[in-house]
């Protein structure tokens, strides 16, 4: 067994169970079912469906909500490209709402301003581990009868008003990519409460197999029937987005340790907060709209506002002192080079982004953002990172 802090005998044992089964039910998924049941229970939702990524889970969720040709879906531009691509994969138009300059999260008032007759859904992103203002977002969604897919890829066990991110909208979607609180290498999962919606999402995730249900991905329910030449397997359109059993085994083990992973990230974030409490030029992501909000600190994000020192200079000093590195925020989705191809693709479908795409706050803040890592595996590693930040801040003060 290796010595990674993320994996122990649980992962090895569950993976061994899958291998020992001889893959007899390689496409039937008992590990997937176990992971889905445990995940739905943990997040107080009725159904969960595993995916091979947190991008495909977003795509299937939007699709299952009926997002299609020419519809508009509102999301933030300060997010991974997956959000925009999932919308485009539905032949729909991404519409970007601005962010709050202090929380860096999508601003409900900006969402409201972007709503048109074509708006079909909202996709808020619980960025860096903090849940968006879901109370207001759900009020808007209700008022305009819009679907809501919460992107919780970076937010496990974060809360708003005492409720987990991923439990407000029609669907919550998480990623198991390797940087996330819990991982299967790559993978994802959705959770929702509506049986019909869960069934549609499941069918989209596995070629529209007739036999799958909201609860189960088993495609061969009755062998005699399945092996009959006249049997028609597919009753709807779908893709192949399933999570492999070995990955699901890993996910089940990781889920059992989720509290620990989240608490470790919170502990690291707390240390960064202590260092920065009197610093006027490194301003942490404003946390919370109320006392019942919990930030799950996928990463510790700050605005870098030093008047005389550059972003790169600060990072280089931090790294030279032994810091883990500092991640910059993604380029805003609509400023990516892929946008030219996107506009061409939409044009070929007679679809156009014909609104003022720019988001003032997001454009101002994106170059200032610094993300400090929170995935240290031990308290001594945390001490080291805290000390490096402390020394770097003192050096430039």
Ligand X SMILES: Cc1ncc(COP(=O)(O)O)c(C=O)c1O
Considering the complex, what minimum distance in angstroms separates the CB of residue 392 from ligand X? 26
Nearest to 281 by CA among 314, 254, 253: 314
Nearest to 105 by CA among 54, 165, 167: 165
Nearest to 99 by CA among 116, 129, 68, 75: 75
Considering the complex, what minimum distance in angstroms separates the CB of residue 125 from ligand X? 5
Choice between 153 and 294, CB closer to ligand X: 153
* Integer Cα distance of 29 and 242 in angstroms: 10
Question: Other CB atoms closer than 10 Å to residue 80's CB: what's the count?
Answer: 19
Binding site for ligand X (CB under 6 A): 53-55, 79-80, 82-83, 125, 151, 153-154, 175, 177, 186, 188
Considering the complex, what minimum distance in angstroms separates the CB of residue 183 from ligand X? 9
- Provide the token pair at 298: 């996928």
* Integer Cα distance of 395 and 234 in angstroms: 64
Choice between 252 and 389, CB closer to ligand X: 252
* Bridge partners (DSSP) listed for residue 303: 283, 369
Active site residues: 180
Considering the complex, what minimum distance in angstroms separates the CB of residue 242 from ligand X? 14
Choice between 152 and 275, CB closer to ligand X: 152
Q: Phi first, then psi: give them for residue 121, nearest 5 degrees.
A: -155, 165
* Integer Cα distance of 301 and 314 in angstroms: 15
Choice between 100 and 186, CB closer to ligand X: 186
Choice between 123 and 389, CB closer to ligand X: 123
In terms of Cβ atoms closer than 10 Å to its own Cβ (0-12, 13-18, 19+), residue 102 is middle
Which residue of this chain has its Cβ atom nearest to ligand X in the complex? 54
Considering the complex, what minimum distance in angstroms separates the CB of residue 128 from ligand X? 9
């Amino acid at each position: 067994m290796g010595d990674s802090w993320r994996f122990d005998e649980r992962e090895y044992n569950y993976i061994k169970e899958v291998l020992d089964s001889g893959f007899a039910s390689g496409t039937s998924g008992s590990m997937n079912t176990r992971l889905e049941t445990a995940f739905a229970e943990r997040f107080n939702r009725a159904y969960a469906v595993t995916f091979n990524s947190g991008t495909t889970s977003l795509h299937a969720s939007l699709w299952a909500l009926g997002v299609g040709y020419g519809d508009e879906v509102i999301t933030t531009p300060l997010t991974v490209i997956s959000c925009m691509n999932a919308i485009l994969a539905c032949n729909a138009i991404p519409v970007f709402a601005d962010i709050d300059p202090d929380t860096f999260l999508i601003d409900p008032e900006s969402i409201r301003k972007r709503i048109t007759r074509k708006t079909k859904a909202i996709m808020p992103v619980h960025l860096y581990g903090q849940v968006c203002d879901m109370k207001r977002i759900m009020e808007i969604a209700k008022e305009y009868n819009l679907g809501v897919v919460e992107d919780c890829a970076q937010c496990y066990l974060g809360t708003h008003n005492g409720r987990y991110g991923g439990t407000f909208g029609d669907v919550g979607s998480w990623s198991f990519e390797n940087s996330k609180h819990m991982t299967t290498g790559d993978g994802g999962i959705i959770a929702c409460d509506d049986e019909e919606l869960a069934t549609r999402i499941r069918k989209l995730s596995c070629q529209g197999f007739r036999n799958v249900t909201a609860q189960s991905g088993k495609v061969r329910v009755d062998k005699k029937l399945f092996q009959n030449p006249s049997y028609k397997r597919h009753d709807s359109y779908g893709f192949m987005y399933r999570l492999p059993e070995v990955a699901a085994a890993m996910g089940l083990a990781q889920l059992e340790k989720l509290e620990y992973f989240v608490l470790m990230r919170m502990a690291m974030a707390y240390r960064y907060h202590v260092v920065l409490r009197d610093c006027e030029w490194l301003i942490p992501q404003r946390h919370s709209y109320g006392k019942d909000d919990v930030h799950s600190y996928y990463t510790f994000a700050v605005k870098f506002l030093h008047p005389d020192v550059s972003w790169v200079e600060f990072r280089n000093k931090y790294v030279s002192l032994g810091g883990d590195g500092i991640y910059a925020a993604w380029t805003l989705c609509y400023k990516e080079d892929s946008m030219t191809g996107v506009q061409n693709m939409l044009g070929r479908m007679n679809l156009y982004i014909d609104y003022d795409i720019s988001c003032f706050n997001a454009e101002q803040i994106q170059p200032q953002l610094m993300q400090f890592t929170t995935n240290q595996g031990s308290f001594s590693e945390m001490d080291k990172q805290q000390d490096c930040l402390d020394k770097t801040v003192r050096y430039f003060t």
